[in-house]
Structure 1
């Protein structure tokens, strides 16, 4: 099943990074290794992934350029999801 992002908290960070972001949804990976891509506003955050469940992930933002954009998750088992919510 395709991943689906339903919520993101918080919805902003500083350009310095270090903000823990909770991503909620459905089918967000069968396990940590199933998540093969996780981008916040184009910044690759996969290295900081904390897999809580297939409904909840936590990542830490990296220092990045100021921007507004989506969150993208890619899983081996279900494909790709793009959040409707902007970060």
Structure 2
């Protein structure tokens, strides 16, 4: 969490992201390309309108996530429930 070019956000189970959680998971590299992870393949999306949907979903998920100390607290609580 201390790398300047990396941002780790944790989406709480109780947050609003449950309404927008994508299936399947996806990565957005820029405003021109995204990848969807399926069980049997990775699909690359390059159509501008489809990438735009992915960018919007990513922004919504990022807005629902917590960072820094709040993220560490959620991770620690999850670890504590396993131990």
Q: Fold-level match, TM-score > 0.5?
A: no
TM-score by length of 2: 0.22
Greater Rg over alpha carbons, structure? 2
TM-score (norm 1): 0.22
Structure with a larger share of its residues in helix: 2
